[in-house]
Amino acid sequence: MNQSEASRLASKALALWGDNQAELAIPVYREAIQLADPAHYMTPIFHGQIAGAFSSCGLFDEAREHYQRAVSLELEQGSDDFNPAVVVARYLLAEHFLQQGEASAALETIEPSLREGASQEWLLRYVKALAFHALGEHETARNEANLALKCAPSETKRYELLELFNEKIGFS
């Protein structure tokens, strides 16, 4: 293990991915992950990033594996389900499931981290609204969208969410 080299490589891979060169970023991410300490706080982030790169290349099964690994590593590192890092990792996995037409899996993914008053509640309720909409449960989707808007951390975020809901589920 060589965490500093893993971090350097992950930064390089992120730059490649940011330059729309995901196919070049993937092998660099693989090397970074191989060198990374699974117990280091950055390693789940590396998995989330490579998952995004895989998804950009249309390699959805590989993306799912790494999104799931990111959630697992966050939990293995002692974080509970309500830790912001776990919530974000679950959100990314749930978004992936939604993009793959697996709305029920998205709901199952976020459920352990969803509780009223949690710091990132709005983010999970956003995904939950989209998932229910995808399942054809439009009234439940509208209720979840309203809850997401209600617990958004700022007026700016509320406006952004409203725009996203309008775009994705025709909510106004």
3-55 confidence digits (pLDDT tens):
999 999 999 999 999 999 999 999 999 999 999 999 999 999 999 999 999 99
How much is the mean pLDDT over the chain? 96
CB within 8 A of 172, min separation 6: which ones? 162, 165, 166
Question: Could you report the per-residue pLDDT of 126-145, keeping only the tens digit for each?
Answer: 999 999 999 999 999 999 99
> Per the structure block, which two tokens stand in for 128?
């939950």
Token reading at 48: 């989330």
Please check whether residue 97 is in contact with residue 63, taking contact to mean a CB–CB distance below 8 angstroms: no
What tokens does 82 get?
A: 């309500």
Q: Write the secondary structure of 118-136 as one string of H (helix), E (strand) and C (coil).
A: CCCHHHHHHHHHHHHHHCC
Record the pTM.
Answer: 0.94
Confidence band, pLDDT 50/70/90 cuts, at residue 172: low
> How big is the CA angle at 71 (ends 12 and 53), to the nearest 5 degrees?
35
In sequence order, what are the residues at sequence separation of 6 or more whose Cβ sits closer than 8 angstroms to the Cβ of residue 57? 22, 23, 26
